[in-house]
């Protein structure tokens, strides 16, 4: 490839905006020893002059820290570091989701959860929830018949099961994970649509899950879900990895506009 004349540019932009940099700096401070939980940060004015930026920038940075629960501001008094890190959320950095390995690590998280979720759903599901699960199962076939690969319906199916646990955190967490593995599911289901044997395999596994939930057989439900997860990752592994690696810099989702 014709290379440009060698030129090095040293950090054209050291980082993003000033607010971004100050945010990072403040996070460092709150996690360091200088400002332990409960202590008060310097005033916005003094920090502004200290960092050499305007008070506006400081306020935007503090606003982000408040959003992440790291600090708490009291008008007239100051900004205080919050106790504990109960307020800092659980995140997965999307920028590291480029490799198959990273995606499979998230899938592994889901695998760990799905067995217990299905078991709890079998134990606690109401009639209405069971009906919703069955309806979601049918919806998968409907979508597939209409030409889609059925990823949305597949996710809805598992979402309904998570709802049936009665524990809202299961639903939140599963939905959070789905955001990362959706693209993998998409390609997996796309591949399965070309392999009737695999497609039938998936349908059978789903059926066993629903049966166990219907009969409220906790252990059978757990086993069925685990079997389904194992099958999913086995089927996913059998796909040419090339299909998975074409996600550019954190943008995993495709336009997805089939017509």
Judged by the rule CB under 7 A, the positions of this chain that interact with DNA are 17-19, 41, 43-46, 48, 52-57, 59-60, 62, 73-79
- State how far the Cα of 203 lies from the Cα of 213, in Å rounded to an integer: 15
- State how far the Cα of 37 lies from the Cα of 69, in Å rounded to an integer: 12
33 phi-psi bin (left φ>0, alpha ψ -120 to 50, beta other): alpha
Q: Which does residue 27 touch among a copy of itself, DNA, none (CB within 5 to 8 A, set by kind)?
A: none
248 phi-psi bin (left φ>0, alpha ψ -120 to 50, beta other): beta
Residue 87 sits in the site that holds a copy of itself (CB under 8 A): yes
Q: Which does residue 112 touch among DNA, a copy of itself, none (CB within 5 to 8 A, set by kind)?
A: a copy of itself
Looking at residues 148 to 177 of the shown chain, list those that interact with a copy of itself (rule: CB under 8 A): 167-170, 172-173, 176
Closer to DNA at the Cβ: 71 or 236? 71
Alpha-carbon torsion (96, 60, 30, 21), positive or negative: positive
Build a one-symbol-per-residue string for 194-233: x at contacts with a copy of itself by CB under 8 A, - elsewhere. ----------------------------------------
Closer to a copy of itself at the Cβ: 70 or 198? 70
Cα distance between the two ends of the chain: 38
Q: Output the smallest distance, CB 58 to DNA, in A.
A: 8
Residue from 89, 86, 87, 17 nearest 58 by CA? 17
CB under 8 Å, gap of 24 or more: what pairs does 248-253 form?
A: 249/95, 249/98, 250/94, 250/95, 250/97, 250/98, 252/94, 252/97, 252/180, 252/182, 252/183, 253/182, 253/183
Q: Which does residue 182 touch among a copy of itself, DNA, none (CB within 5 to 8 A, set by kind)?
A: a copy of itself
Residue 26 sits in the site that holds a copy of itself (CB under 8 A): no
Build a one-symbol-per-residue string for 36-75: x at contacts with a copy of itself by CB under 8 A, - elsewhere. -xx-----------------x--xxx-xx-xxxx------
Write the CB contacts of 258 (distance below 8 Å, at least 6 apart in sequence).
147, 148
SS3 of 240, please?
coil
**Interface positions with a copy of itself (CB under 8 A):** 19, 23, 37-38, 56, 59-61, 63-64, 66-69, 83-92, 94, 97, 105-106, 108-109, 111-113, 115-117, 120, 167-170, 172-173, 176, 179-180, 182, 250-253, 255-257
């Amino acid at each position: 490839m014709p290379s440009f004349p060698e030129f090095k540019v040293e950090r054209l932009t050291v980082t993003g905006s000033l607010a971004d940099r100050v945010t990072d700096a403040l996070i460092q401070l709150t996690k360091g020893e200088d400002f332990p939980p409960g202590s008060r940060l310097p005033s916005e004015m003094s920090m502004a002059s200290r960092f050499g930026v305007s008070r506006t920038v400081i306020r935007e940075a503090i606003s982000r820290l408040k959003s992440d629960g790291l600090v708490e501001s009291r008008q007239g008094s100051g900004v205080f570091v919050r106790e504990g890190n109960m307020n800092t959320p659980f995140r997965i950095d999307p920028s590291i989701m480029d490799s198959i390995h990273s995606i499979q690590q998230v899938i592994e998280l889901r695998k760990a959860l799905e067995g217990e979720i299905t078991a709890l759903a079998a134990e606690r599901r109401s009639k209405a929830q069971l009906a919703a699960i069955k309806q979601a199962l049918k919806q998968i076939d409907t979508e597939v018949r209409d030409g889609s690969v059925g990823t949305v319906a597949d996710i809805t199916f598992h979402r309904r099961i998570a709802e049936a646990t009665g524990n809202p955190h299961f639903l939140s967490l599963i939905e959070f994970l789905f955001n990362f593995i959706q693209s993998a599911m998409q390609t997996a289901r796309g591949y399965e649509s070309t392999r009737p044997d695999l497609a039938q395999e998936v349908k059978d596994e789903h059926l066993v899950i629903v049966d166990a939930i219907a009969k409220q057989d906790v252990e059978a439900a757990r086993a069925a879900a685990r079997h389904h997860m194992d099958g999913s990752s086995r089927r996913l592994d059998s796909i040419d990895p090339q299909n998975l690696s074409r996600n550019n810099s954190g943008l995993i989702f495709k336009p997805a506009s089939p017509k």
